[in-house]
């Protein structure tokens, strides 16, 4: 997903102005659904991956063989909060503005948060449409990177897409900046394949630079 097209010179100021507006965040914050949230608890989690959070440009160190995962919980997020926006700002070089993020909470979206105790440390945003799922956003707070949490979030999404009990889809799609090599390695490791490119799709990280090409990838499920 890309931000609204504006001039490169004004983009950084515009995005940060929106992101730092508590009033806007408050306006689009939604109440949690009245139904009880489904919480997924994790016991010992073993990972052999060295990962990087997609689109952050912040490489993660090798995941320890026995990371401390007591108290880890995955549960749906039902509305925009300052904690979500704080992670978005810290984890992404070109973060979503609150106005865009606020549109990601609806019946066709799956937004999952990863908690350590009561602290939100990461999330995924996926668009679910018919037999396809598009990973729109994935982020882990830099304070909690290097613990395998990014891979855990990816595992949760793949499990959701592969679930035969009413959720199984044909394909899982995503887009990634062509120069985000660490994220691309993570996706390849999770059996994603490149299927195309979109020149000039992403806004530049630095104002004045050229827009960046997006690599379109998919992961066959069936």
Question: Looking at residue 178, which CATH number applies to its domain?
Answer: 3.40.630.30
Q: What confidence tens digit (pLDDT) does each residue in 5-46 have?
A: 434 444 444 434 444 455 444 444 443 333 444 555 443 332
Rounded to an integer, the average pLDDT of 52-59 is 33
Number of structural domains in the chain: 1
Give the side-chain half-sphere CA count within 13 A for 178.
Answer: 16
Q: Please give the pLDDT value at position 50.
A: 27
3-state SS assignment for residue 183: helix
- Decide which of 11 and 188 is more confident: 188
Helices (H) and strands (E) in the chain, counts: 6, 10
Residue 2 is assigned to a structural domain of this protein: no
Identify whether 99 is part of a domain.
yes
Taking all residues of the chain, what is their mean pLDDT, rounded to a whole number? 75
Q: Record the pTM.
A: 0.69
Q: What is the mean pLDDT of residues 137-141?
A: 94
pLDDT the model gives residue 107: 86
Greater confidence (20 vs 216) lies with: 216
Q: Domain range holding 84?
A: 8-30+38-220
Cα–Cα dist 195/191, whole Å: 13
Residue 1 maps to a domain: no
Examine residue 3 and state whether it is found in any structural domain, yes or no. Answer: no
Q: Which residue's entry shows tokens 């799956």?
A: 110
Of residues 148 and 1, more confidence is placed in: 148
- Tens digits of per-residue pLDDT, 153-168? 999 999 998 875 566 6
Active site residue 212: no
Per the listing, tokens 């995955």 go with 74
**Catalytic residue (one of 45, 175, 202, 212):** 175
Catalytic-role residue among 187, 194, 201, 210? 187
Active site residue 144: no
């Amino acid at each position: 997903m890309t931000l609204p097209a504006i001039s490169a010179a004004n983009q950084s100021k515009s995005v940060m102005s929106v992101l730092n507006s508590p009033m806007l965040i408050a306006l689009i914050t939604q109440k949690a659904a009245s139904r009880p949230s489904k919480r997924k608890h994790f016991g010992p989690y073993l990972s052999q991956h060295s990962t990087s959070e997609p689109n952050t440009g912040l490489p993660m160190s090798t995941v320890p063989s026995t990371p401390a995962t007591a108290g880890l919980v995955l549960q749906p997020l039902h509305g925009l909060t300052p904690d979500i926006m704080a992670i978005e700002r810290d984890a992404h070089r070109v973060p979503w503005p609150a106005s865009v993020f606020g549109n990601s909470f609806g019946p066709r979206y799956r937004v999952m948060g990863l908690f350590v105790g009561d602290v939100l440390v990461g999330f995924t945003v996926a668009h679910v449409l018919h037999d396809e799922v598009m990973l729109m956003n994935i982020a882990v707070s830099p304070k909690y990177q290097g613990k395998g949490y990014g891979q855990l979030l990816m595992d949760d999404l793949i499990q959701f897409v592969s679930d035969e009990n009413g959720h199984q889809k044909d394909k899982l799609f995503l887009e990634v900046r062509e120069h985000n090599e660490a994220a691309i390695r993570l996706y390849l490791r999770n059996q994603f394949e490149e299927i195309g490119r979109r020149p000039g799709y992403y806004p530049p990280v630095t104002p004045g630079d050229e827009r960046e090409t997006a690599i379109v990838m998919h992961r066959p499920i069936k």
